[in-house]
Amino acid sequence: MSTTRRLALVLVIAAVAGCVGATVDSQAPIDQTASGSWIVRAPMPTARQEVAVAALGSRIYVIGGIGAGAEAAATVEVYDVPSDRWEARAPYPVPVHHAAAAVVGGRLFVMGGYTGGRVGWTRLATVHEYDVARNAWVQRASMLTQRGALAATAVGDRIHALGGDSDGVTGAHEVYDVRADRWTRAATMPTARDHLAATTVGGRVWAIGGRTGFFGTQYPNVEIYDPATDSWRVGQPLPEGRGGLTAAAIGDRVYVFGGEAPLKIFNASEMYETAGNRWIAKAPMPTPRHGIGAAVVGGRIYIAGGATSPGFARTDAHEVFTP
């Protein structure tokens, strides 16, 4: 499906789903011993969904997204954890949504995504690094594949960019060497998908969930990549497939939050339990959302923005999970 046709479908879906969307609880067994807790923090100044999110030190960056009028936003806002305050930063070089962000050695990179809004979406391969000292964005080597709705995570001094939409879902897996400013291809992700989540645990990449399209297959798939062998293995699948979710890791624990499926919006918070090789349910998100990103600061997981119904339903919600 072309990007223009996809956008037209999304607009129809948004019109229908703006007032429809059953909230879905996790189907995993509930953790009776430590379900975790949520608190509400200062809302984002600008309501946005399909954002890129990453943490640098005690600050959380929320980049781009779909904003007012379902248009792409160049907005960059930074949340300071100690003061519970937001501040604006230099806008992204181009309005962008469905991009991915990752941090390596105190350096923040944003890659891919779409530019354009209601008129049409254009896939990007561009990569920019944020220069904190100058409050400026610097262009770096582009990805080898133009794509939006991808996921990214860092292992050591390399960033792994996974999947997304490249005129159809892709299993593309490209690795960015931060020091060399160079992209190379790695073993293709076994399941081609977009709107997936990714995180890193023990030096391995986890690719989680995703889909082939809003009304397409909603994957529960978890696939784990080992950079040492350039190979993938299958992990324990999620209790229910969906796209638009986010993931974060604290120590050896993987957490997954939110997501959407046709006429469904997820408040699910789930953790992979290594000992039992299973997903267990944690305290549900106070605000069910998709199109979100997660950042970890001080052992807590911060989730800002997103959409509160399937399709376009941007929010300024900002909630923090303590495991």
Domain ranges of the chain: 3-322
- For residue 284, give the DSSP letter: P
What pairs with residue 123 in β-bridges?
A: 114
| Per-residue pLDDT tens digits for 248-300 | 999 999 999 999 999 999 999 999 998 889 999 999 999 999 999 999 999 99
- For residue 82, give the DSSP letter: T
Q: Give phi and psi for 118, each to the nearest 5.
A: -60, -30
Q: E-strand spans in 34-181?
A: 37-40, 52-56, 59-63, 76-80, 85-88, 100-104, 107-111, 114-115, 122-123, 127-131, 136-140, 151-155, 158-162, 173-177
Count CA within 13 A, CB hemisphere, residue 197. Answer: 32
Chain center to CA of 323: 20
Tokens 């495991």 found at:
323
pLDDT value of residue 69: 93
Report which residue type is found at 114: Y
pLDDT value of residue 20: 57
Fold of 3-322: Neuraminidase (2.120.10)
pLDDT value of residue 30: 82
The answer to whether 60 and 295 have CB atoms below 8 angstroms apart is yes
- For residue 74, give the DSSP letter: -
SS3 content of the chain, % helix, strand, coil (to 5): 5, 45, 50
pLDDT value of residue 100: 98
| Separation CA 134–CA 69 (nearest Å) | 31
pLDDT value of residue 35: 92
Q: What pairing do the DSSP bridges indicate for beta strands 100-104 and 22-24?
A: unpaired
Helix (H) or strand (E) holding 217, with range, is none
pLDDT value of residue 118: 79
The answer to whether 217 and 195 have CB atoms below 8 angstroms apart is no
Query: What is the reported pTM?
Result: 0.93
pLDDT value of residue 19: 43
Residues 6+ apart with CB under 8 A from 82: 58
Per-residue pLDDT of the chain (323 residues; tens, 9 = 90+): 444 444 444 444 444 444 457 898 889 888 778 899 999 999 999 999 999 999 999 999 999 999 999 999 999 999 999 999 999 999 999 999 999 999 999 999 999 999 998 778 999 999 999 999 999 999 999 999 999 999 999 999 999 999 999 999 999 999 999 999 999 999 999 999 999 999 999 999 999 999 999 999 999 999 999 999 999 999 999 999 999 999 999 999 999 999 999 999 999 999 999 888 999 999 999 999 999 999 999 999 999 999 999 999 999 999 999 99
Q: Is the dihedral of CA 169, 170, 173, 176 positive or negative?
A: negative
